Amino acid sequence: MNKMKVLVSDNISPKGVKILEKAGLDVDVKTGMTPKELKKEIGKYDGLVIRSATKVTSEILGAAKKLKVIGRAGSGLDNVDKGEATKRGIVVMNTPGGNTVTTAEHTIALIVAMARQVPQATASMKQGKWEKKKFMGVELFGKTLGIVGLGNIGSHVAKVAQGMGMDILAYDPFLSEEKARSLGVEVVSLDKLFKKSDVITLHIPLTDDTRNLIDTKNIAKMKKGVRIINASRGGVVDEQALYMALKSGKVASAALDVFETEPPSDSPLMELDNFICTPHLGASTADAQENVAVAVANQLADYLVRGIVRNAVNVPSVSADALPVLEPYINLAERLGSFLAQGLDGGIDKIIIEYKGEVAGLDLEPVTVAALKGILTPILEETVNFINAPSIAKERGIEVKETTTDDAGDYHSMLVIKIMSGRKEYSVSGILHGKKEPRIIEVNDFVVEVVPEGELLVIANNDKPGVIGNIGMMLAKHRINIARMHFGRQKQGGRAISVVSVDTAVSRDILSKIRKLPNVLSLKQIRLPN
């Protein structure tokens, strides 16, 4: 019997290669291949191990006729076409958590180096100077550290900073008050964090909502002399706005490990003495690289040799026999969860998942996991998968409850997801149309019929003449095509909801203009897979 073959196309620790070989797999290490070379080679392999350099595009996947699994030694999966892999039945795995301590420690290193001007003083001394007065630093003891995103990395940064005597403010819409208290941090609004913090560090994914989060408008809310660190994702900081704020002295100093374009070309930030930087070193320690190499090798071996799925971002752990029945509900649950989470204003205290009708008699664990993944992914992105979603919810102090009933009203089956956030309740209900196609039939007590896919604008409005026309004209003015429109209202002349499906994403500027239209009360842009 021929051995299954694994291609390692990026540099990983030799320990990972040895684990794959010990499991009985035939391993080839071929790093630095061009896309053309990879396309030519990939058809021979059952498994692929990558880091960030290899780009697994739809074209590469089209040539991967035998490929069963892709394993990323690390968490980020921006370089993998996950949708195309899923369509082709290829499992995509990552190793979330392997870089947590390393990235947190690098953040602390940047904070301290920035406060004491270590890089600048080093450069000065290497030029033969002794400029003791020039490099006057600041103490971190007693200062307020604002942490945007209190996931695994942000939480570890908080612990270390507390050990240095810093006070911690945190913004994280998915963190419960109980979990915040256990960490000894104060959860505040983003505006309050900007206003009160002496030092601000970012630990968030790059999404439509977080892109250019640190921009001219938000920098204006900060203290004069604030210090800013970003070791999360390039694009979260508007680099031109940061440059101007560093030049003016509004921002005393900044430290970036990540950039919009890597490597950054001709960045004016490099001209500034109060700016320090590192070339995306957050995960670059021998310890972390060994951890993720060992983890991904074990995961690939488990899947290819024993059929065990761990840390898959696109496939839940379901038996082959059960998958055909459960897959449509798994898809529905993940979409409902993502839709609901992207419309939230606040943290999550409790999640209730109600199964009604025929679905209540199935094995519901993978469906519940899919709902949790859908809820948590919009803020945590690639750190959430079908394996760790329940433990992440537990770590964040979120209570999860399931209920079942045989009664689904006029439908064969129905899923209802509710989120309790403080005193507010958010809910969404969904069904399967024709046993496979997901549909949203109710949003926060508004009866609708929404196809949950693509770019959606969810608008709360007063039920008055002209609202829909104004929205349509605003989108038409900016050449944004409407694919579908869905409406719901509780009573004539009362509050209503409009869900507009558009062909392309809507910019912040246009969203702001829509929010200012007459009788528009609120607007959320929601993105779901096609």
- Active-site residue among 156, 203, 227, 233? 233
For residue 194, which of 172, 173, 169 has the smallest C-alpha distance? Answer: 169
Q: How far apart are CA 520 and CA 447, in angstroms?
A: 19
Are the CB atoms for 482 and 501 separated by under 8 Å? yes
Token pair for 318: 């379901």
Residue 236 to residues 239, 257, 264, 441, 492: CA-CA distances in angstroms? Answer: 9, 12, 15, 35, 42
For residue 512, the one-letter residue type is S
DSSP state at residue 285: S
- Active-site residue among 88, 116, 280, 527? 280
Count of CB atoms within 10 A of residue 382's CB? 18
Are the CB atoms for 456 and 528 separated by under 8 Å? yes
Count of CB atoms within 10 A of residue 198's CB? 20
Residue 209 to residues 264, 378, 379, 495: CA-CA distances in angstroms? Answer: 23, 10, 9, 26
- Residues 492, 493, 499, 500: is their CA dihedral positive or negative? positive
CB burial string 292-322: b at 16+ within 10 A, e below = bbbbbbbbbbbbbeeeebbbbbbbbebeeee
DSSP state at residue 284: -
Active site residue 280: yes
Q: How far apart are CA 282 and CA 388, in angstroms?
A: 22
- Residues 442, 443, 447, 449: is their CA dihedral positive or negative? negative
- Active-site residue among 37, 262, 358, 425? 262
Angle at 134 between CA 132 and CA 135, to 5 degrees: 75
Q: Which DSSP string do the residues of 359-403 spell out, in sequence order?
A: GGGS--HHHHHHHHHHHHHHHHGGG--TTTHHHHHHHTT-EEEEE
Q: Give, rounded to a whole angstrom, the gap between the first and last alpha carbons of the chain.
A: 40
- Residues 149, 155, 161, 165: is their CA dihedral positive or negative? positive
- Maximum distance among all Cα pairs of the chain, rounded to whole angstroms: 82
Active site residue 233: yes
Active site residue 116: no
Q: How far apart are CA 288 and CA 449, in angstroms?
A: 47
Q: Residue 82: which residues within 8 A CB-CB, separation 6 or more? A: 92, 313, 314
Q: What are the catalytic residues?
A: 233, 262, 280
